[in-house]
Structure 1
Amino acid sequence: MYFFDEERHSKPHIHARYSDQEAVIEIPTGVLLAGELKSNKLKLVEAWIEIHKDELMANWEMASKGFPIKDIEPLK
């Protein structure tokens, strides 16, 4: 999640990276907005988003206003 990152994708989203791939995924719906990830990795990220949706949305609100965000448990 990047601060003030509303220019390219105005919807609440995260940036997920794996190896040399990067994807931009909408938080509320899990829709892929840009980029790509291997399908099995994308499914993991989608599940992680679903589990942490409330935390991610709270962080999105904070980041879009330039405030620090809270750590969220990573994928394991």
Structure 2
Amino acid sequence: MPTISVFYGIMVQMFFNDHAPGHFHVKYAEHKAVIEIQSLEVIQGKLPRRALALVLEWAQVHRAELLDDWELCRQMQHPKPIQPLE
């Protein structure tokens, strides 16, 4: 599973040829979540409140890039790295 961004101990990843809807996976310490790109809703798992807020802030800024990476992964191509939250 390619890692597309890492910031503040948060790792954002996408699977190749994953199921719809478009989403990304987040790991933070022992926590894991799956977040839909369009709605930015957590569709699986749970993150601590502060980590989730950081991920959602990052995802809003980079939504177009996340959608582009989703399409690359659907085509079994390596996604492009996305700038971390600063």
Counterparts in 2 of 1:1-76, with a 5 A limit? 1-6=14-19, 10-76=20-86
- Report how many residues are paired: 73
CA RMSD in angstroms comes to: 0.9
TM-score of the superposed pair, with normalisation by structure 2: 0.81
* AA partner of residue 4 (structure 1): N
Distance across 2 between alignment mates of 1:75 and 1:2: 21
Unaligned runs of 5+ in 1: none
Distance across 2 between alignment mates of 1:2 and 1:52: 18
Unaligned runs of 5+ in 2: 1-13
Give the structure with the larger strand fraction.
Answer: 2
Distance across 2 between alignment mates of 1:69 and 1:26: 17
> Secondary structure in 2 aligned to 1:44?
helix
Distance across 1 between alignment mates of 2:60 and 2:50: 16
1:22 Cα offset (Å): 0.4
Report % sequence identity.
36
Distance across 1 between alignment mates of 2:34 and 2:44: 5
